[in-house]
Structure 1
């Protein structure tokens, strides 16, 4: 059974664009590389042919995984989401109780995560620890260097 992933419309479009790029541009390039290597003679000692075939196999595997992701993707209607607790696409304002710093993260699907943009995956340890929490609650999250205590200050949709 495949895992359903939730995306914003932009995130799903980006995923589909990448899949189309792989199918329409990269796949023909891989086939062309194999054909060129095959034309160079004896296949039993042709490292270029072996490398091209291996690259094609890896490309086909990546395409297959992306096709599965797209097939199991669901778009989230942000207007229907509850803002009383942390869910996918929640923008959460937090206070780290260990060092009193305030931070803000938006919880997104794994493929849309971008820490520099403040987007963390719902499958990350912090994302999992925040899901379902409400304003005022403290999430205690196990991270490699100990336990993070994050107090939820605000939940919004942006």
Structure 2
């Protein structure tokens, strides 16, 4: 029995598509070898061919969406909004990270200390959101 696409599927797919289009838009301006990972000091420590770097995160976004969807089926949360919020937040994080990697490779200054703080804040907010949704806490 085939399942129809949900609004969440459309949102996640749309974000992955926008992320892919952003990569394709700047593709000609990217170096042949794109820095894809950075040390804590902000220095690149891993590279990938341009095509792989542009395609990897959109593919990871789709796969992540499918894994989260599967996890919600295997162990459904008490509040269905929990997984929707986590899914959208995760897709947005991956899209932003992809954008920052593209920006750095295009020569823009990316403040890695602020990126790290942002990811930590994101993690705390997503975890807090899940706890509030699942355990109530009066909200």
TM-score with structure 2 length normalisation?
Answer: 0.38
User: Of the two structures, which has the highest relative contact order with CA contacts closer than 8 Å and spacing of 6 or more?
Assistant: 2
- Structure with the larger helix share: 2
Name the one with the larger strand percent: 1
Larger radius of gyration: 1
TM-score normalized with structure 1 length: 0.35
